[in-house]
Amino acid sequence: MKLRKIAALLFLLIFAVAGAAGAQDTERLLDQRTANLWFEGEALGDLIIGARAQFAFIYVDGKLVESAWSDPMAPEWLKNNTSFYGGKETRKKAMFIIRVRTVKNLTLDHSMISIGSHVLTPADVLTNRHFVPVGELPPDLTAEFAVAVPAAAVKGKTVRFAVGDYATELELPKR
């Protein structure tokens, strides 16, 4: 009986350590695949002043998907949006998750966003259209949606993301 208790305790300890390692791996992969952009914001040292919104562009590949689905601590938004990976909608395309966090009122349209040389259209969006933040957005809104753009639009080591006149770049991991 004592041996069973010790074995069960050991099993729980190993499971907890493995879960923590998986969470760290998912966070590391997310950091490597994310480019942040402040819309209408001015950098003042480490502060961003006057921004309407923050956009996070997350490159989705097999490693991130595998890590997200094997990590019990991965956020639900990540699992929901990576579920499109490998489907017919993403064949011969590059997949991204766009997270939007508004600070002030924002009017957002698909055509304001470009990934590489491709301007986003409603046909590029994989997420249910009822959950995609477009139109007049209120402050303090956080939403995310998955998109797939032609692979030809993101050729090379780096990809450029733009929202209106504001842009940033991300160096893609080896594919």
Q: Does 3 have pLDDT greater than 70?
A: no
Amino acid occupying residue 10: L
pLDDT tens for 80-93 read 999 999 999 999 99
Pinpoint the alpha helices (H) of the chain: 2-32, 62-70, 76-82
Q: Check residue 20 and give its pLDDT.
A: 41
Q: What are phi and psi of 151, to 5 degrees?
A: -60, -30
Q: Check residue 175 and give its pLDDT.
A: 61
pLDDT tens for 17-37 read 444 444 569 999 999 999 999
What's the number of domains the chain is made of? 1
Q: How, if at all, do strands 166-171 and 158-163 pair? A: antiparallel
Mean pLDDT over each residue of the chain, to the nearest integer: 88
DSSP, residue by residue, 148-171 = EEEGGGG-SSEEEEEETTEEEEEE
Amino acid occupying residue 20: A
pLDDT tens for 48-70 read 888 999 999 999 999 999 999 99
pTM of the shown model = 0.84
Provide the residue range defining the domain that includes 17: 2-171
pLDDT tens for 111-121 read 999 999 999 99
Q: Check residue 7 and give its pLDDT.
A: 52
DSSP state of 173: P
